[in-house]
Amino acid sequence: MKNIIIASCFLLSLSTSAQTLGELANSLKSKISTSTSDTNNSNESETSSNSSVFSSLISDTDIASGLREALNLGIEEQVEKLTQTDGFYKNDLVKIVMPSELQKVDTALRSVGLGDLADEGIKALNRAAEDAVKEATPIFVDAVKDITFNDAKTILLGEDNAATTYLTEKTQTALYDKFNPVINESFTKVGADKIWTTLISKYNSMPFVSKVNPDLTDYVTTEALSGVYTMIAVEEKEIRNSTASRSTDLLQSVFELQD
Residue 257's pLDDT band (boundaries 50, 70, 90)? confident
Query: Are 24 and 150 found together in one domain?
Result: no
Mean pLDDT of the residues in the chain: 81
Query: Are 46 and 142 found together in one domain?
Result: no
In the predicted structure, residue 15 carries a pLDDT above the cut 60: no
Query: Are 76 and 166 found together in one domain?
Result: yes
Domain limit, last residue, from 40, 57, 74: 57
Query: Are 46 and 151 found together in one domain?
Result: no
Number of domains in the chain: 2
Reported as a single tens digit per residue, the pLDDT across 119-152 is: 999 999 999 999 999 888 889 988 998 888 988 8
Overall pTM surpassing 0.95 (yes/no)? no
Full domain range(s) for residue 32? 1-57
Query: Are 16 and 83 found together in one domain?
Result: no
Distance, in Å, from the CA atom of 254 to the CA atom of 259, rounded to the nearest integer, reads 10
Query: Are 118 and 75 found together in one domain?
Result: yes
